[in-house]
Amino acid sequence: MKLLSLNKAQPFFLSLFLLNGCSSFNLDKEKITDIFSLDDEDQILSPKNSIQFTCDQNQIFFLRYLEDKNAVWIILDNREFRLEKDLVDDNKYSNGKTVVEISQGNVSITSNAKSLYKQCKENPSSKI
């Protein structure tokens, strides 16, 4: 009978030991609450070495220059793709289907002649 009661006590003491060990960890409560936060509007993750653009209707995309600006990598909400510099116009990048036009203070993305992102402005603090 004593043996049975000791076996039931072992999990209790083991859990006390484990909880005591957890007390020595130094956890940053603010970072933990950020991870579990449901409010993701302020938490836009910017891809490394990219520039964030905000367009009309609060659309956001990222652009990363490649190979000394001879190509760009476009990062949208649901896809990413590469565009090559246009041979005629240095301010255009295309893959035959999608075109990015970069003019002073304005960037636009069209696909199959349909405007996807227009009146896009670079966020000054977005360069990473």
| DSSP states along 69-81 | TTEEEEE-SS-EE
Contact 61, 55 (CB under 8 A): yes
Return the pLDDT at 36: 61
Of 33-37, 40-44, 88-92, 118-122, which range is least confident? 40-44
CA distance 30 to 101: 41
State if pTM tops 0.75: no
Return the pLDDT at 43: 54
CB atoms within 10 A of CB 78: 4
pLDDT tens per residue, range 39-93: 655 555 678 889 999 999 999 999 999 999 999 999 998 999 999 999 999 999 9
pLDDT tens per residue, range 2-16: 555 556 667 776 676
Q: How far is CA 23 from CA 17, 27, 43, in A?
A: 10, 10, 30
Return the pLDDT at 48: 86
Reported as a pLDDT band with limits 50, 70 and 90, residue 104 is confident
